[in-house]
């Protein structure tokens, strides 16, 4: 994709600016984010929800979306992305953890039985910044100053303000999914009440939340729906291609190099859209049940970050010569 690099650069610039601002006023931003999510939910259930038809179906659906939104936000803020020096994490036993369907066929460090999927040990290199041996797909985050397993990006969103990697990427994507669903529903179902709150249709405002609060939350919903929608589409594209945000950028460079030699680059983590999605969300055959996508349970990723599923017949990326792999160093020089 030609625009991947541009999109990635935009995100990186936004990320740096966001981090400067949120780093300075972290606790206030957490409070602000919680306040905005809370206000959105309050406005929806006070103003919009009572006007919906078939409340017996729509109300539970709306409550489910709101619970998912809050829980995935909480998870992505509190679950660490996974660092190099941490031991592999075991699944918890509390009620927040989903139960795995099957326990058979576990490989060392991999919680997902092969089920027709080939999983190989990760190769390692040394990080030039923290000087630690790190497994493939781990990258150094300059803001956290640590190497993160399956590093995607450092997220400066208020409250989150940490890296998105192996252990929280699933919650990050599901948080975006539920944020887009909820802001879309808010925008699509609440426009009549927006006119009422602005006094366009009538001056009769008979709800508990103030008109000005409703109008502001409505505008914010429209903006967030569009902005997060674009980010979500970018991430879903990456998931379907078996790439993290960093890899999407690197692979574009590899593709160009391979093309110059008359070869084609093949990403060895790309097992096809369906399998890539199964592995990312760790559901379906030998993974966790599908209900973990609509009920906000915690689950472990399919790997501990030291082994990776590979495309059949490829032990490494095709069309990439030894020594051509980009490192974080080159990534930094890019800025």
Task: State yes or no: residue 16 binds Zn ion (CB under 5 A).
Answer: no
Task: State yes or no: residue 127 binds Zn ion (CB under 5 A).
Answer: yes
Give the binding range for Zn ion (CB under 5 A) out of 40-48, 56-64, 91-99, 132-140: 132-140
Q: How far is the CB of 212 from Zn ion (least distance, A)?
A: 37
Q: Which is nearer to Zn ion, 114 or 329 (CB)?
A: 329
Instruction: Report the DSSP beta bridge partners of residue 288.
Output: 283
Q: Which of 72, 137, 150, 154 binds Zn ion (CB under 5 A)?
A: 154
Size of site (CB under 5 A) for Zn ion: 10
Q: What is the 3-state secondary structure (H, E, C) of 50-107?
A: HHCCCHHHHHHHHHHHHHHHHHHHHHHHHCCCCECCCCCCCCCCCCCECCCCCCCCCE
Check: CB of residue 288 under 8 Å from CB of residue 101.
yes
| Selection from 149, 130, 153 nearest residue 300 by Cα | 149
Q: Which of 32, 70, 106, 143 binds Zn ion (CB under 5 A)?
A: 143
Give the binding range for Zn ion (CB under 5 A) out of 57-65, 159-167, 172-180, 269-277: 159-167
Q: Which of 62, 71, 141, 228 binds Zn ion (CB under 5 A)?
A: 141
Task: State yes or no: residue 129 binds Zn ion (CB under 5 A).
Answer: yes
Q: How long, in residues, is the chain?
A: 335
Place of tokens 């040394």: 126
For CA atoms 67, 69, 70, 75, the dihedral sign is: positive
| Residue 49 dihedral angles phi and psi, to the nearest 5° | -55, -45
Q: How far is the CB of 250 from Zn ion (least distance, A)?
A: 16
Task: State yes or no: residue 130 binds Zn ion (CB under 5 A).
Answer: yes
Residues that bind Zn ion (CB under 5 A): 127, 129-130, 140-141, 143-144, 147, 154, 163
């Amino acid at each position: 994709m030609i625009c991947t690099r541009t999109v990635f650069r935009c995100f990186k610039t936004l990320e740096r600016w966001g981090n400067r601002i949120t780093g300075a006023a972290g606790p206030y931003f957490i409070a602000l984010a919680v306040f905005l999510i809370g206000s959105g939910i309050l406005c929806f259930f006070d103003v919009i929800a009572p006007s919906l038809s078939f409340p017996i179906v729509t109300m539970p659906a709306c409550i489910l979306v709101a619970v998912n939104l809050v829980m995935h936000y909480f998870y992505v803020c509190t679950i660490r992305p996974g660092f190099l020096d941490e031991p592999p994490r075991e699944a918890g036993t509390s009620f927040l953890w989903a139960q795995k369907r099957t326990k058979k066929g576990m490989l060392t460090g991999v919680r997902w039985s092969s089920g027709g999927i080939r999983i190989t040990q990760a190769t390692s290199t040394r990080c030039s910044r923290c000087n630690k041996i790190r497994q493939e797909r781990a990258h150094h985050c300059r803001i956290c100053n640590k190497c993160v397993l399956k590093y995607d990006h450092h997220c400066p969103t208020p409250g989150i303000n940490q890296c998105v990697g192996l252990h929280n990427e699933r919650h990050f994507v599901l948080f975006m999914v539920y944020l887009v669903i909820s802001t879309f529903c808010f925008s699509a179902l609440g426009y009549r009440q927006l006119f009422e709150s602005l006094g366009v249709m009538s001056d009769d405002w008979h709800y508990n939340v103030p008109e000005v609060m409703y109008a502001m939350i409505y505008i914010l919903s429209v903006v967030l729906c569009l902005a997060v929608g674009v980010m979500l589409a970018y991430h879903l594209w990456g998931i379907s291609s078996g790439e993290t945000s960093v890899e999407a950028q690197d692979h574009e460079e590899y593709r160009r190099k391979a093309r110059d030699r008359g070869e084609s680059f093949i990403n060895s983590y790309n097992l096809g859209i369906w399998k890539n999605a199964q592995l990312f969300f760790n559901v379906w055959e030998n993974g966790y049940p599908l209900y973990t996508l609509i009920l906000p349970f915690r689950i472990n990723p399919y790997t501990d970050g030291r082994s990776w599923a590979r495309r059949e017949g490829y032990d490494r990326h095709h069309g990439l010569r030894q020594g051509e792999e980009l490192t974080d160093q080159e990534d930094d020089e890019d800025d």
